[in-house]
């Protein structure tokens, strides 16, 4: 659940929490990087749109099945009241962050003639995740927490996601090496 919050503890008197997206979104960017590198920016955008459609159907089904007298079920009531806001945040963030990540990766591939794959993965993900994290935090948590409570969440999530990309880069490079031809022959792919 994207609204699931896990309490990690206090650092210098500031409570640190993480959300469920902290585990799912880095994997999405990992897959997006591979798809962009192997199949191009257009296929990645199609993948993002399909993900958003599936997410929207899931949200709609979850919300419709929860539409009954919730007077005795405060948990379902709490989830269904915050879920639309978090879903909108996720959709907008996926569109913007995913597009920026894929666009930068694709343009760097063309500019660098297919070289420095690991650096391109890490750089594009760092930029895309920055946009993703900023948009998600602003839409999801605005008015819910004070700014000094939200900033540590955003920074911790961003650092984790970039470190996840760095750790997974050898796997990304190996998968791309296996799936792409040896010679960079599609210089102008998806301009």
Q: Give dist(CA 38, CA 81) in Å, integer.
A: 40
In the chain, where are the structural domains located?
5-179
In sequence order, what E strands does 14-167 have? 14-19
Q: Give dist(CA 30, CA 53) in Å, integer.
A: 20
Q: Give dist(CA 167, CA 88) in Å, integer.
A: 29
Reading the chain (191 residues) residue by residue, the pLDDT tens digits are 444 566 777 777 766 666 666 678 888 889 999 999 998 889 999 999 998 898 888 877 876 766 555 555 555 555 556 677 878 888 899 899 999 999 999 999 999 988 999 999 999 999 999 999 999 888 887 777 788 888 887 898 899 999 999 999 999 999 998 887 654 555 555 55
pTM for the whole thing? Answer: 0.76
- If we measure between CA atoms, which residue out of 26, 81, 24 comes closest to residue 55? 24
97 burial (CB, 10 Å; 0-12 / 13-18 / 19+) is buried
């Amino acid at each position: 659940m994207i609204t699931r919050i896990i309490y990690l503890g206090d650092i210098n008197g500031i409570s640190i929490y993480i959300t469920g997206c902290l585990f799912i979104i880095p994997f999405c960017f990992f897959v997006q990087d591979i798809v962009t590198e192997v199949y191009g920016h257009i296929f990645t955008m199609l993948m993002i749109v399909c993900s958003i459609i599936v997410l929207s159907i899931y949200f709609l089904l979850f919300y419709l099945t929860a539409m009954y007298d919730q007077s005795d079920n405060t948990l379902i009531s709490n989830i269904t009241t915050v879920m639309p806001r978090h879903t909108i945040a996720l959709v907008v963030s996926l569109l913007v962050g995913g597009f920026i990540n894929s666009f930068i990766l694709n343009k760097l591939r063309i500019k660098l003639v297919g070289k420095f794959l690991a650096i391109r993965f890490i750089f594009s993900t760092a930029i895309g995740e920055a946009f993703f994290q900023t948009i998600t935090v602003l839409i999801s948590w605005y008015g819910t927490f004070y700014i000094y409570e939200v900033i540590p969440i955003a920074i911790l999530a961003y650092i984790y996601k970039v470190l996840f990309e760095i750790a997974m880069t050898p796997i990304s490079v190996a998968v791309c090496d296996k799936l792409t031809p040896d010679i960079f022959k599609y210089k102008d792919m998806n301009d």
